[in-house]
Amino acid sequence: MGLFDFFKKNKKDVHQGLEKTRKHFWQRVQQMLTAKRTIDQEVLDNLEEILILSDIGIATTEKILKVLKKKAFQKGYQSVEDLLGYLREAMLSIFLEKGRLYDEQVWTAIEVRPYVILVVGVNGVGKTTTIGKLAYQFHQAGNRVLLAAADTFRAAAVEQLRIWAQRSSAAFVEKGQGADPAAVAYSAVEKALKENYDVVIIDTAGRLHNKSHLMRQLGKIHRVIKKQIPEAPHEVLLVLDASTGQNALRQAQEFMQVTNVSAIALTKLDGTAKGGVVLAICDQLGIPVKYIGIGEQITDLQLFNPYDFVDALLKPTPATPA
Ligand SMILES: Nc1nc2c(ncn2[C@@H]2O[C@H](COP(=O)(O)OP(=O)(O)OP(=O)(O)O)[C@@H](O)[C@H]2O)c(=O)[nH]1
Ligand SMILES: [Mg+2]
CATH number of the domain residue 192 falls in:
3.40.50.300
Q: What is the pTM of this model?
A: 0.92
DSSP 8-state symbol, 316: P
Residue 90: the pLDDT is: 93
**Residue 241 DSSP one-character state:** E
**Sequence-separated (6 or more) residues with CB below 8 Å from residue 72:** 39, 82, 83, 86
Cβ 166 under 6 angstroms from ligand 1: no
Residue 110 lies in a domain: yes
Closest CA to ligand 1's atom 5 = 268
Q: Based on the domain organization, do 38 and 112 belong to the same domain?
A: no
Distance (angstroms) between ligand 1 centre and the Cα of 293 equals 9
Question: Is the residue at 175 inside a domain?
Answer: yes
Asked whether 306 lines ligand 1 (CB < 6 A), one says: no
Distance from residue 121's CA to the centre of ligand 2 (Å): 9
Q: Amino acid letter at 217?
A: Q
- E strand map for the chain: 115-120, 145-150, 171-173, 199-204, 235-241, 263-267, 289-293, 301-303
In short, whether 288's Cβ falls inside 6 Å of ligand 1 is no
94 and 118 fall within a common domain: no
Among 99, 120, 145, residue at a domain's last position: 99
Instruction: Say yes or no: 90 and 128 in one domain.
Output: no
Residue 127 domain boundaries:
104-306
- Whether 321 maps to a domain, the answer reads no
- Looking at the fold, whether 165 and 248 belong to one and the same domain comes out as yes
pLDDT of residue 268: 96
Q: Tell me how far the alpha carbon of residue 207 lies from the centroid of ligand 2, in angstroms.
A: 9
CA of 72 to the centre of ligand 1 (A): 42
Q: Which atom of ligand 1 is nearest to the CA of 293?
A: 31
Last residue of a domain, one of 76, 99, 122: 99
DSSP symbols for 151-215: --SSTTHHHHHHHHHHHTT-EEE---TTS-HHHHHHHHHHHHHHTT-SEEEEEE-S--S-HHHHH
- The DSSP call for residue 64 is H
The C-alpha atoms of residue 159 and residue 151 are separated, in whole angstroms, by: 10
Residue 2 lies in a domain: no
* CA 219 to ligand 2 centroid distance, Å: 19
| Amino acid (one-letter) located at 70 | K
CA of residue 45 to ligand 1 center, whole Å: 36
- Ligand 1 test: best mutation among 122, 129, 291, most atoms within 8 Å of CB? 129
50 close to 28: Cβ distance less than 8 angstroms: yes
Tell me, in angstroms, the distance from the centre of ligand 1 to residue 272's CA: 14
81 inside domain: yes
One domain for residues 93 and 128: no
Asked whether the beta carbons of 300 and 293 are under 8 A apart, the reply is yes
Which ligand 1 atom sits nearest the alpha carbon of residue 125?
19
What three-state secondary structure class fits 82?
A: helix
In a domain, 311, yes or no: no
Say if residue 29 is in the same domain as residue 129: no
The DSSP code for 317 is: P
Same domain as 170, residue 300: yes
In short, whether 294's Cβ falls inside 6 Å of ligand 1 is: yes
Ligand 1 contact via 125 beta carbon (within 6 Å): yes
264 found inside a domain: yes
**267 Cβ below 6 A of ligand 1:** yes
Residue 209 has a pLDDT of 62
Distance from C-alpha of 90 to C-alpha of 67, rounded to nearest angstrom? 5
For residue 97, which amino acid is it?
E
pLDDT value of position 37: 65
Find the 127 Cα to ligand 1 centroid distance in Å. 6
Q: What is the mean pLDDT of each run of 10 residues along the chain (322 residues)?
A: 57 79 81 70 86 92 92 74 86 82 68 93 95 94 95 91 97 95 98 97 83 86 97 96 94 90 94 92 91 93 90 68 44
Q: How far is CA 44 from the centre of its chain?
A: 29
| Amino acid code (one letter) for 252 | A
CA distance 181 to 206: 12
| pLDDT value of residue 134 | 95
82 and 193, same domain (yes or no): no
Residues 83 and 77: beta-carbon distance below 8 Å: yes
Say if ligand 1 is within 6 A of residue 124 CB. Answer: yes
Q: Is 186 found in the same domain as 124?
A: yes
Domain stops at, among 99, 132, 157 = 99
How far apart, in whole angstroms, are the C-alpha atoms of residue 261 and residue 120?
9
Domain match, 78 and 206 both: no
Beta bridge partners of 150: 204
Q: What is the pLDDT of residue 166?
A: 98
Same domain, 65 and 124: no
pLDDT (0 to 100) of residue 320? 43
55-92: burial string, b at 16+ Cβ within 10 Å, e else: bbbeebbebbbebbeebbeeeebeebeebebbbbbbbb
Counted domains in the chain: 2
Same domain for 186 and 43: no
Note whether 240 and 304 are within 8 A (CB).
no
d(CA 79, CA 77): 6
* Res 237: pLDDT: 97
- Report if residue 181 sits inside a domain: yes
CATH number assigned to the domain comprising residue 55: 1.20.120.140
Instruction: Tell me if 121 CB under 6 Å of ligand 1.
Output: yes
Which ligand approaches the C-alpha of residue 154 most closely? 1
